[in-house]
Amino acid sequence: MAGTARADTVVMENGDGFRGTIVGFDGKQLTLRLDYAGPATANGMIALQWSAVRQVASSETIYVVTAQGMTVSGVASTDAGDLVITSATGAPTRIPFANVAAIRSQDTETAYEHTLHPGLLESWQTTTALGFALARGNSRTTNLNLAFNAARTTLHDKLAAYATSVYASSGVAVAPGVTAGVTANEITGGARYQHDVRDNAFLYGSADFVYNELQFLNLRSILGVGGGYHAINQPSTKLDFYAGGNYTRESYSTGILRNVAAATVGDTFSHQWNATTLKETFEIYPQLGPLGPYRFAFTMGLSSKIRAWLGWQTNISDLYVSDPIPGTVANDFIFSTGLNVTFNH
C-alpha cells in the first residue's frame, strides 16, 4: 500500500492509466517504469507519446525543462491542461504541456548534472585504425599504417589527442645489387585544448610533433596558442575558424637545427550524416617577419560505421614545407584506409 501511494501516474487522452515511476521525457516520449511489467515492456519500461498524454502526477520530485531553457523542480500535478510543479517551498509553477521540453527524475537529473562536469578520465571517445599489407615472392613489400584519435567534449571545452604512423619498405631491386629499402616512415602526434570564452568564441593551446625518416627530420615540435570562432555549431555540423601564433623547432639528422616563430591560420570542419562522419583540418604557418618560408598541413578523414564499435576509415594528409632541406622534397602526401575500432568512456 505504501508503494502504491508513492507511485507516479499518467493518464492518456483515451482514458488509459499507468502507474509507476517517471524516468524522463525527451521531447517526444515520456518513459515510465511500471509497477507491473507486462509482456510488451522491456525491463518494466514503457514509452508513451507525449502528444497523447492528458494528465501527469508525481509523488517524488521531478525536474522539468521548459522550451525557454528554464528548469523547475518539484512534485507534479495537472490542472486545466497545464503541468503544475510545486516546489519544496510550496510555490507552484504552471507550465503548458506544449511548453515542456524535457522531464528528468532525480536519478536522471543527478546523472545529467554529472555529464556537465565530468572527471578528466570520463566522456572520452577513442578511435583506433589499422591497415596492413604484406607481399612476399616476386615482390617483397611491407606496408603498415596506424591511427589513434581521442576526444573529450564537454559543454564549454574540448580536449583532443591524436597519433598516426605510416611505414613502408620494399625489397624490390631498383638497380643491380640495390633494393629500395624503407620508402616511408613518418610518425605524427599531438594534443589540443579548446575552451569557450563566449557562446561562439574560444581560446586554444596546441602541441604537435612530427618525425620523418626520409626528410631526415628527427623531430619537429610546434607549440601554438590562439583564438577562434564557431561559425557553425550544430549537433551534426561544426565549422571553426581560428588564428594565433606558434613556435616551431626542427632538428634534422644532417645537423641542421631550426627555430622559427610563425603565425597560425586554420579551420576545422566536421559533418555527420547517418553512420558516416567527415572531418577536415587545414592549417597554414607563415613565418613571421619578411614574407618567405611557410608550411601547411591538411588532413581529412571519412569514417563509416559497420557496427557500433567497428567501422571503416579513410584518411588523407598533405604536409608541405616551402623550404625543405637539400636532398628532400617539399611535399608529403599520405593516403591510408582500413578498419577502425571505437571505444567510449
Q: Which residues contact 291 (CB under 8 A, 6 or more apart)?
A: none
pLDDT value at residue 99: 92
CATH code of the domain containing 271: 2.40.160.40
Same domain, 160 and 185: yes
pTM of the entire structure? 0.70
Neighbours of 149 (CB within 10 A): 21
pLDDT band at 36 (very low <50, low <70, confident <90, very high): low
**Among 260, 261, 265, 302, which residue's Cα sits nearest to residue 282?**
265
What is residue 161's predicted lDDT score, i.e. its pLDDT?
95
Residues 112 and 140 in one domain: no
- Answer yes or no: do 140 and 273 share one domain: yes
Helix H or strand E segment including 10: strand 8-12
Residues 6+ apart with CB under 8 A from 178: none
Are 298 and 209 contained in the same domain?
yes
**In which band, very low, low, confident or very high, does the pLDDT at 290 lie, cut at 50, 70 and 90?**
low
Domain match, 72 and 215 both: no
Answer yes or no: is pLDDT of 4 > 60: no
Number of domains in the chain: 2
- State the residue range of the domain holding 210: 124-344
Average pLDDT over every residue of 96-119 = 86
Q: What is the mean pLDDT of the chain?
A: 87
- Residue 229 pLDDT: 96
DSSP 193-227: EEEESSSSEEEEEEEEEEEEGGGTEEEEEEEEEEE
The predicted pLDDT at position 162 comes to 93
Q: Please tell me the distance from the alpha carbon of residue 229 to that of residue 239, in angstroms, as a whole number.
A: 9
From 116, 144, 164, the end of a domain falls on: 116
- The answer to whether the CB of 135 falls within 8 A of the CB of 143 is no
pLDDT for residue 98 is more than 60: yes
Residue with cell 571503416: 312
Residue 219 pLDDT greater than 90, yes or no? yes
Same domain for 8 and 26, yes or no, is: yes
Please choose, from the candidates 169, 158, 238, 166, the residue with its C-alpha nearest in 3D space to the C-alpha of residue 192.
158
> Residue 345: its pLDDT value, please?
64
pLDDT score of 12: 93
Last residue of a domain, one of 116, 149, 184: 116
**Together in a domain, 160 and 92:** no
DSSP classification of residue 329 = -
Query: Is residue 146 domain-shared with residue 190, that is, in the same domain?
Result: yes
Give the domain-ending residue among 116, 150, 183.
116
Same domain, 108 and 133: no
**HSE of 15, CA atoms in CB hemisphere, 13 A:** 0
The reply to whether 106 and 147 lie within a common domain is: no
Q: Are 11 and 77 spatial neighbours (Cβ–Cβ below 8 Å)? A: no
On whether both 54 and 166 belong to a single domain, the answer is no
Higher pLDDT: 282 or 80? It is 282
How is residue 324 annotated by DSSP? Answer: P
pLDDT at 1: 33
Residues 6+ apart with CB under 8 A from 16: none
**CB contact at 8 A, 222 and 212:** no
> Do the Cβ atoms of 93 and 85 come closer than 8 Å?
yes
The answer to which of 104-113, 176-185, 207-216, 333-342 has the lowest mean pLDDT is 176-185
- At 283 the pLDDT is 95
pLDDT at res. 42: 53
Same domain for 108 and 232, yes or no, is no
**Helix (H) or strand (E) segment spanning residue 116:** helix 106-116
pLDDT at 325: 86
Dist. CA 211–CA 55, nearest whole Å: 65
Instruction: Taking the CA atoms of 311, 124, 145 and 327 in sequence, report the sign of the dihedral they define.
Output: positive
Query: What pLDDT is recorded for position 289?
Result: 72
- What percent of the chain has pLDDT above 70? 93
Write the pLDDT tens digit of every residue in 123-169: 888 888 888 888 877 778 888 888 888 999 888 889 999 999 999 99
Residue scoring higher pLDDT (69 or 218): 218
